[in-house]
Amino acid sequence: MVSEYVIEIFNYMKEIELTTMPNPNYMESQKELAWKMRGILTDWLVQVHVRFRLLPETLFLCVNLIDRFLSARVVSLAKLQLVGITCLFVAAKVEEIVAPSVAHFLYCADSSYTYLRQPECYVLKTLDWNLSYPSPMHFLRRISKADEYDVKARTIVKYFLEIQCLEWRLLAAPPSLIAAAAIWLARLILGQDKWTPNLAHYSSYAESTIIPTANLKKIICNGNIIGSGNDRRKGV
């Protein structure tokens, strides 16, 4: 971030993150889909993402676009993969310096489709061309300043952030809270379990606000619940 405008940029991201969140209950409106299918699709997209060596921001934006699109449109099971690969294509064009071509994406879909331009336009129109998604990675860069960009903590945090892409139960949490909860958990694992005033300032979240989301992340990872106070290390 440009240091001169860092506060304004952070406040702007906090403002627009609420406008780019999907409906956390959108699957109730889908006739042929279930949350398990979203997980399978995301897992496949992660493999494509790794194959092309794309940026983390590309994956986060892709998943956000999928969830927002499915919040607005009912999609058949036969078209779900097309929605996924289209959203990854759009995300790559936004985030990457050199994005893979349409042919590359179609090949990864086993040539099941012969076009992406028309689906791309449909997705963009559905989302009202709003691609300004501040991902958890954007907030991580801001919050990391509070612990002097601890490399070990950031590595663990990035793992938690990637895991959350697969988990529909975290859709109701804004990206800034997702990032803060991931840092809270990473510090707990590293024995740095004090949520300092600096961390509260740079994240804009008090520890009491973070713990419920951090608990859910912990449940997702290994089924154990983190308590509070003296019990916070339970299950680590």
Give the model confidence (pLDDT) of 60-114 as tens digits.
999 999 999 999 999 999 999 999 999 999 999 999 999 999 988 988 887 677 7
The CATH number of whichever domain residue 141 belongs to comes to 1.10.472.10
Band the pLDDT of 195: cuts 50, 70, 90: confident
Last residue of a domain, one of 105, 126, 147: 126
Last residue of a domain, one of 71, 94, 126: 126
Secondary structure (DSSP) of 52-79:
TT--HHHHHHHHHHHHHHHHHS---HHH
Nearest partner of 64 among 81, 33, 88, 31, judged by Cα: 88
Asked, for residue 4, whether it belongs to a domain, the answer is: no
Q: What is the pLDDT of residue 227?
A: 39
Q: Does residue 221 surpass a pLDDT of 80?
A: no
Range of the domain at 33: 23-126
Distance of CA 200 to the CA centre of its chain: 21
Query: In terms of domains, do 145 and 120 share one?
Result: no
Query: In terms of domains, do 70 and 29 share one?
Result: yes
Q: Does residue 115 surpass a pLDDT of 90?
A: no
Q: CA 2, CA 89: separation in Å to the nearest integer?
A: 28
Q: Does residue 226 surpass a pLDDT of 60?
A: no
Q: CA 139, CA 106: separation in Å to the nearest integer?
A: 32
Query: In terms of domains, do 116 and 201 share one?
Result: no
Band the pLDDT of 176: cuts 50, 70, 90: very high
Write out pLDDT tens, residues 120-171. 999 999 999 999 999 999 999 888 888 777 888 889 999 889 888 988 999 9
Asked, for residue 204, whether it belongs to a domain, the answer is: yes
Asked, for residue 6, whether it belongs to a domain, the answer is: no
Q: What is the pLDDT of residue 2?
A: 61
Asked, for residue 72, whether it belongs to a domain, the answer is: yes
Average pLDDT, the chain: 87
What is the number of structural domains in the chain?
2
Query: In terms of domains, do 36 and 87 share one?
Result: yes
Of all residues in the chain, the percent with pLDDT exceeding 90 is 54
pTM of the model: 0.87
